Structure 1
Amino acid sequence: IFEMCDTNKLVEAWHHFLKGKFLQGKRNRRIDHLLHILVEQVLLYYSLKQRRQDLGFEGPDVEVKKRQDIKRRSQVYVKDDIKQVKDTKYLVPSQSSPSKLYEVDINTYTCNYLNFPLIAYCKHICAVQRLFDEASDQAAATSQVPDPSAPSPTPSPPLALHHETPACNPLILLAEKMELLAAHLCRSGRKGTLSLPNLEAALDAMLIETYNSGVLPSSIHVAPSATSGWQETRKSMMPAVKMKRKAAGDA
């Protein structure tokens, strides 16, 4: 959803905006002038624009608007419309085509709806959370209470993620685990656990460690060219030098 635009000519639209707003519609032949405009004006313009968006001066962003619209359209569903097939899996019919069913898994917080990946949220998940949230919380709480009369289960090794392989990127696995943890916390509705303060402190430490205040990466020193081909390069970069016109009658 963050890549949606009212035109499919994004590069042409950006060039038109750059030339009209920052270059004042003037023809530019100097790469150093263009880099100066990009670094000193364009980056500052978009940084301030992003801050205004974060502070709410530009109104709600695209994701917030989409969530508000999803919550509004999910109100048409009633509990009889949704079928629970497993503890955390539900079948939700489509509003436009009731014969088509979408599978919602609250445990992994996913839905096979086409527009679900836009913001990882859709009206089907919203309807299931609204209508079955209390029942799912009670089932989760009941499953966590051990039965005194039941025999102690045989300990089994922890299950590995189905997509985990030795060649997987550890950063990708970490991001997936954090997304799954966030989905579990949102579903359970618990205010906090004993491990959350430690996790928050570890995340804050990593954010400080990886923080980079600069917009651009670190500069790299490039040694001056030792070749003597500047005159040939200059001919292709700069316009030809205008010579003084000879007066009439000069030899």
Structure 2
Amino acid sequence: VLSGNGIIFQTPDVLTVSYIKDQPNFSMYCDKQLKDIGISLVSRTTACKVLKDSANNDPPTSFSNMNSIGGDFDKWARSKEYRGYIHIPSFNVKCDASGNLVTANPRDPDYRNKENPTKSPDQVDDAERNPYGYTKIPWYARSKCPNEYEPADVYTEDLTTSRLSNCSRYAQQELTGTDAPFIFTNINMKVCCNRQVSITIDRSVFPQTRLYIDGKMVGEQEQTDLGQFISSGGRQPDPSKLSKVGHGKIARSGKSLTYNKKVEKVIPA
């Protein structure tokens, strides 16, 4: 297949899932974390109960059908048992005999037309809204940027952020005196014509985050530093002065997830 016509190969399917994990000792852990940032016993008891009650069921460790409506991933996604997810389906990459990129066809399934969305971070159109309720920041496929990138590589980025609803933010402010921060997940994927795929998942320190490759879980980072996460939204004693919708502070970063592997299968040219 490595011939004068070059090579065609398919990237792996990439999925990240963020969710609040209900651990056996979660209530004690939450109480200690909130005590460490100065929250009163009454307030932290209420806050920890609400947080525990809103925890998610653990996602499956694998999905057999990532792309079909009615498949196990689609059914799970509609369950809303998560705080956010990003899904980049596999796509074809074609390189010439010299090892330079010829074509790549990434698609974002969370957009209705399945095409790469336009850049509009301030105004999100209905066609650029995640069908399961999470507003997405557009991602980009870059095929050739001589000043920063190699022409033999495909660079993709997908970023999602979310925050509590206004009603829940007011409740948090009443209990903790802080606004809620934005959680985030950011996928950076580099695909080279030597078939090497390198993925880095940057994420907020809370909640839990899993990485799936081709429907199978290959990594997980635990939710940690809950107290620091809550306080990172910023002290705000006046509920009338909470940040406007779409504005506010991003939660502190947690440990990243990484994946590096060479694609074994190639498509006959």
Task: Please say whether Structure 1 and Structure 2 have the same fold, judged by a TM-score greater than 0.5.
Answer: no
Flag the structure with higher helix content.
Answer: 1
Instruction: Give the TM-score normalised by structure 2.
Output: 0.20
**TM-score if structure 1 supplies the norm length?**
0.22
Structure whose CA Rg is larger:
1
Higher relative contact order (CA 8 A, sep 6+): 2
